[in-house]
């Protein structure tokens, strides 16, 4: 059995594995895809102390750093079920994998991350990272002085539009519904900005480009049925971040958005089970935030181990 079993191999999981392994305890990482969302990222300019890097390069460095330690890396493994520690499990937490194997550990760190909900229109996949973006904190500065749209009128969409309006030349917020769902105070703030336009009852139907980069967005006015084209250089999709926690439903406390509920120490609702990163209720979803949270969760797992007797 492991002392610390990390489920998920993104920035949070890699940090948790390194912090655990440095305590000289039996550490394992099971990950569907080691590297996580970082693998899908191009330019990274906010990984503090590294002015510029690229996703695949950072993902390789994460893996190399973990491999410097005695960590059992189980890549391409999907966790399907978590079984809390009980007398029946010999006091160990169990993680069942899709390949049929069961891993046992005294503590578990859940760091399965999240994925952005996509609009699923032509052009979105083709121009991802070439004008189609999902993270205003990450990619906002790349659009300085340019025109962008934000798709989605919930809190995250309206926050993104307000944020971007301070950087870009003009931002158009496109919402499918007849009204925005964001908090009133955010909506007021957005409508007060001179370089922001809000379009409601608008169904995005296509993201246009010149073959290299995005140059427009087409939406259908759901009242009149007419199509309109907005000329722009960037589209930020803000219609939801989905935590990869479907497999935990019913076993552990999740928020109404499906995020694993944790406290300041990364403790979940189950003894011996900790969590970190985008899969949790942590307020901001960023690489440095996930790494900090992964370290916290691993240190909390270690603290749990030294306070409990080995089963
Ligand atoms: P993830 O990176 O999502 O990793 C989750 C891990 O869990 C993966 O290994 C995954 O395969 C695994 N997993 C999932 N489900 C299971 C399962 N059931 N069983 C086993 N393993 C599982 N942040 C920045 O700070 N700067 C940026 O510039 C930046 N740009 C971004 C650009 C894009 C296109 C995207 C998508 C995100 C960007 N982010 C950026 C956000 C950043 O990537 C995330 O905040 C960060 O990766 C979260 O780390 P994590 O470890 O919590 O989760």
pLDDT digits (tens, 9 = 90+) for 167-192: 999 999 999 999 999 999 999 999 99
The predicted complex's ipTM stands at 0.99
Q: Are 58 and 38 in contact (CB under 8 A)?
A: yes
When computed from its CA atoms, the radius of gyration of the chain, rounded to whole angstroms, is 21
Is ligand 1 within 6 A of the CB of residue 78?
A: yes
Which pLDDT belongs to residue 100? 97
Is ligand 1 within 6 A of the CB of residue 236?
A: no
Compute the distance from residue 53 Cα to the ligand 1 centre, in Å: 16
Is ligand 1 within 6 A of the CB of residue 237?
A: no
Which pLDDT belongs to residue 311? 64
pTM attached to this predicted model: 0.94
Query: How does residue 42 score in pLDDT terms, banded at 50, 70 and 90?
Result: confident
**Residue to mutate, 237, 244, 247, ligand 1, most ligand atoms under 8 Å from C-beta:** 244
The dihedral formed by the CA atoms of 126, 129, 133 and 136, expressed in degrees to the nearest 10:
180
Compute the distance from residue 115 Cα to the ligand 1 centre, in Å: 7
Nearest CA to ligand 1 atom 45: 286
Which pLDDT belongs to residue 204? 98
Give 199's strand partners. Answer: 174
């Amino acid at each position: 059995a492991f002392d610390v079993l990390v489920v998920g191999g993104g920035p949070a999981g890699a940090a948790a594995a390194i912090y655990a392994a440095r305590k000289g305890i039996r550490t394992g990482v099971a990950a569907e895809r080691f590297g996580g969302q970082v693998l899908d990222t191009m330019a990274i300019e906010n990984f503090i102390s590294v002015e510029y890097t690229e996703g695949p390069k950072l993902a390789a460095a994460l893996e190399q750093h973990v491999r410097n330690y005695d960590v059992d890396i189980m890549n391409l493994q999907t966790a399907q079920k978590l079984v809390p520690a009980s007398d029946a499990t010999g006091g160990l937490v169990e993680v069942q994998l899709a390949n049929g194997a069961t891993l046992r550990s005294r503590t578990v760190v859940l760091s399965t991350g999240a994925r952005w909900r996509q609009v699923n229109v032509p052009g979105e996949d083709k121009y991802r990272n070439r004008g189609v973006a999902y993270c205003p904190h990450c990619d906002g500065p790349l659009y300085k002085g340019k025109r962008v749209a934000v798709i989605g009128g919930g809190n995250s969409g309206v926050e993104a539009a307000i944020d971007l309006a301070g950087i870009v030349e003009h931002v158009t917020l496109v919402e499918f519904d007849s009204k925005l769902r964001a908090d009133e105070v955010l909506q007021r703030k957005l409508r007060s900005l001179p370089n922001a336009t809000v379009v409601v009852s608008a169904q995005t139907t296509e993201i246009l480009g010149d073959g290299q980069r995005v140059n427009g967005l087409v939406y259908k006015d759901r009242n009149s049925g007419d199509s309109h084209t907005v000329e722009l250089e960037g589209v930020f999709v803000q219609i939801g971040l989905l935590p990869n926690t479907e497999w935990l439903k019913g076993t552990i406390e999740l928020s109404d958005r499906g995020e694993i509920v944790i406290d300041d120490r990364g403790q979940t609702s189950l003894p011996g089970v900790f969590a970190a990163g985008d899969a949790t209720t942590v307020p901001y979803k960023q690489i440095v935030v996930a790494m900090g949270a992964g370290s916290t969760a691993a240190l909390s797992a270690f603290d749990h181990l030294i306070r409990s007797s080995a089963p």
